Amino acid sequence: MQQTVIADRSVTADGMAIAGPGEGYAVNVALVYQDALTRHWAGQVRERLGEVVGKEAIQPTEWNINDLKEPRVYSEGARALARADMIVVSLYEAERLPPVFYLWVNLWLQVRSGFPGALVALVVPVEESNFGANETRRYLCAVASQGGLELLESNQPGRPIRDLRDDSFQWRRAA
């Protein structure tokens, strides 16, 4: 398997230096989840990405939204997502997510400042359709748009996104 090198980048939005091609650059992947099922689904995307770019190139972090009430998790997670090349968000469809989640997303979006990347939205659908059933999906689409992130979506738990191919990463060309 051939390792893919992401386009040269020397400084993140917050001034932190990152390696470029020839310097062992890694793909920073942040997984955001709610529980064991959503964590597993997000992990499938990480594994699929490893097949595309090489497992040794993946630098993953994981963030449970239920732990965001802890100041250390909140701040470290915001920094990690601000620097992530790919953000995988795996959540249950809901009318409202925890308020701390919205604050956290706003923080890392501001710090990203247009840093290119992709948002993979994995949304577990509700059993019964109701008025607010698409709120989570709409919110994640708005996050991707506001952050200038390429959006990949799935609502089929247990089925990884098949669109992860070397040529599907449009955001890396903008870097």
CATH number for the domain spanning 75: value is: 3.40.50.360
Number of domains the chain is built from: 1
- The tokens describing 169, both together, are 């990463």
More confident residue, 37 or 175: 37
Per the rule left: phi > 0, alpha: psi between -120 and 50, beta: everything else, 51 is alpha
- 3-class DSSP state of 110: helix
Q: What is the pLDDT of residue 12?
A: 37
Q: What's the pTM value of the predicted model, to 2 decimals? A: 0.78
d(C-alpha 126, C-alpha 114), whole Å: 32
Compute the radius of gyration of the chain from its Cα atoms.
Answer: 15
Is there a domain that residue 13 lies in?
no
Contact 149, 117 (CB under 8 A): yes
Look at residues 56, 120, 54 and name the one whose alpha carbon lies nearest to residue 84: 120
Q: Which strands make up the sheet holding 86-92, listed edge to edge?
A: 58-64, 27-33, 86-92, 118-124, 150-154
- Examine residue 3 and state whether it is found in any structural domain, yes or no: no
Report yes or no on 132 lying in a domain.
Answer: yes
What count of other Cβ atoms lies within 10 Å of the Cβ of residue 87? 28
Domain membership of residue 135 (yes or no) is: yes
- Model confidence pLDDT, tens digit, residues 39-57: 999 999 999 888 888 888 9
Q: Using DSSP, state whether 86 is helix, strand or coil.
A: strand
Q: Mean pLDDT lowest for which of 67-71, 93-97, 132-136, 163-167?
A: 163-167
pLDDT at 69 over 60: yes
- Residue 19 in domain: no
Domain membership of residue 98 (yes or no) is yes
Question: How many residues appear in the chain?
Answer: 175
Q: How confident is the model at residue 136 (pLDDT cuts 50, 70, 90)?
A: confident
What pLDDT score was predicted for residue 159? 60
Q: Which domain holds residue 137?
A: 27-174
Decide if 53 contacts 3 (C-beta within 8 A): yes
Q: Which residues pair with 92 in a beta bridge?
A: 124
- Whether residue 129 is contained in a domain is answered as yes
Phi, psi for residue 32 in degrees, rounded to 5? -120, 125
In a domain, 6, yes or no: no
